[in-house]
Chains A and B, each alone.
Chain A
């Protein structure tokens, strides 16, 4: 039986009925059509479905939508503001840190939670922060450099 949930996504409040066996990843993609959140392994291993839930980056394929009730979710669609793209997005574009783009949403969100908590991370801290996000194209170097560039305000 569906349940009513209240959930804040990218600053906007939603009140919706959802089936208990719906994961947050499927809920975002299929019911809210926020397809910036990707689905890769669906088992918590690849990180493409990363969203920020109450300030922490999580695999949305391992959270039930009903568990996210009352919480604040940020997806990649929530990074852009009136002022334009998020600095991380700008640096990813500048540095060519995107190839196929499938990991990008997750990378950006993991990086954002790192910089929110620790504005000046070391390279090791950057690499640890994105260690749950797999990329099969870039070899990570340009992603790490982009996060570093934001940190250094370049």
Chain B
């Protein structure tokens, strides 16, 4: 299927890119990995007059873990996230999300930033990024602002980005030492799959290793946007990890979920799976603390 015609722009710096998207106006789209945008253009769902490619801006394609936090350039590829030593050791749930996205071929193109900006409810990166407390740096000609990822995604396909703004970085704080995390994706096949639903979990224990001092359960594809479960957090905080506790947290997460019946599965099934996946993700997160 031929792509509609457009003008192609390749800025060399973030400032130049911001100037371009500010000047070119609303019929402009930013091209990162292209795995979503180009498909939508082929399907004639989108016909931007201008494409601003971020390919040549090296600073956007870097992972920087030099000062205790992890700063992810939005153009870092899913495959690079899945292979990164710092992601594997400190952010295992993120590694799991990265390695489940699309197929190996797609992971070599698709970017972290693209996965956030497209704001799909079933996306593989948001749940673990939210669990790790990600904040996003947004930039335009008028300056920069920082927004937590929980506020960035507003609705399916909608974010708080204004038309002249772009995602400049994703920032995560390294979890405290006694922390464990995990991401589980449920689909009907192993590759090229859109999550039926997915769950990311993060647990932090106190120094004695007996009490949960921080907990996050984030669910994807069970609401219009990725959902942080306040009820699961409440169940877990201050308690001692156990199978029964994780089952209770699963119940709590399921009660916060708002799945709908659709062609992928019934709402009832999805709610039951939130319960089970939450239990498994918490168990895995806890195992990871113990094997540290």
Q: Known: A21-B2, A21-B6. Contact between A57 and B104, CB under 8 A? A: yes
Task: Give the nearest-CB partner of A20 in chain B.
Answer: B8
Q: Is the pair B35, A110 in contact by a Cβ cutoff of 8 Å? A: no
| Cβ-defined partner of B105 (8 Å) among A1, A20, A26, A110 | A110
- B interface residue count range (under 10 / 10 to 19 / 20 to 34 / 35 or more): 20 to 34
B102: which A residues are within 8 A, CB to CB?
Answer: 44, 132
| Cβ-defined partner of A42 (8 Å) among B1, B31, B35 | B1
B10: which A residues are within 8 A, CB to CB?
Answer: 66
B191: which A residues are within 8 A, CB to CB?
Answer: 128, 131-132
Task: Give the nearest-CB partner of A47 in chain B.
Answer: B105
**In the assembly, what is the distance between CA of A58 and CA of B245, in Å?**
44
A59 within 8 Å of B (CB atoms):
yes
**In the assembly, what is the distance between CA of A56 and CA of B109, in Å?**
9
| Cβ-defined partner of A62 (8 Å) among B1, B4, B5, B39 | B39
| Cβ-defined partner of A128 (8 Å) among B5, B31, B104 | B104
A23 within 8 Å of B (CB atoms):
yes
A17 within 8 Å of B (CB atoms):
no
Task: Give the nearest-CB partner of B37 in chain A.
Answer: A62
Q: Mark B93-106, 1 if CB is under 8 A from A, else 0.
A: 00000000011111
Q: Is the pair B3, A42 in contact by a Cβ cutoff of 8 Å? A: no
Q: Is the pair B105, A132 in contact by a Cβ cutoff of 8 Å? A: yes
B53 within 8 Å of A (CB atoms):
yes
Q: Is the pair A132, B104 in contact by a Cβ cutoff of 8 Å? A: yes
Task: Give the nearest-CB partner of B191 in chain A.
Answer: A131
**In the assembly, what is the distance between CA of A133 and CA of B106, in Å?**
11
A115: which B residues are within 8 A, CB to CB?
Answer: none
Q: Is the pair A59, B192 in contact by a Cβ cutoff of 8 Å? A: no
A50: which B residues are within 8 A, CB to CB?
Answer: 105
Q: Is the pair A21, B192 in contact by a Cβ cutoff of 8 Å? A: no
A44: which B residues are within 8 A, CB to CB?
Answer: 35, 38-39, 102, 105-106, 109
A138: which B residues are within 8 A, CB to CB?
Answer: none
Quote the shortest CB–CB distance from A61 to chain B (angstroms): 8
Q: Is the pair B108, A58 in contact by a Cβ cutoff of 8 Å? A: yes
**Residue of B38, B51, B53, B104 contacting most chain A CB atoms (<10 Å):** B104
| Cβ-defined partner of A47 (8 Å) among B51, B53, B103 | B103
**Residue of A23, A43, A67, A110 contacting most chain B CB atoms (<10 Å):** A67
B144 within 8 Å of A (CB atoms):
no
Q: Is the pair A45, B6 in contact by a Cβ cutoff of 8 Å? A: no
**In the assembly, what is the distance between CA of A45 and CA of B1, in Å?**
14
Quote the shortest CB–CB distance from A106 to chain B (angstroms): 8
Identify 10 residue pairs between A and B in the complex whose beta-carbon atoms are under 8 Å apart, listed by A's number: A44-B102, A44-B105, A47-B105, A57-B104, A58-B109, A62-B35, A64-B8, A64-B38, A66-B53, A131-B104
Binding site for A on B (CB under 8 A): 1-8, 10, 31, 33-35, 38-39, 42-43, 51, 53, 55, 79, 102-106, 108-109, 190-192
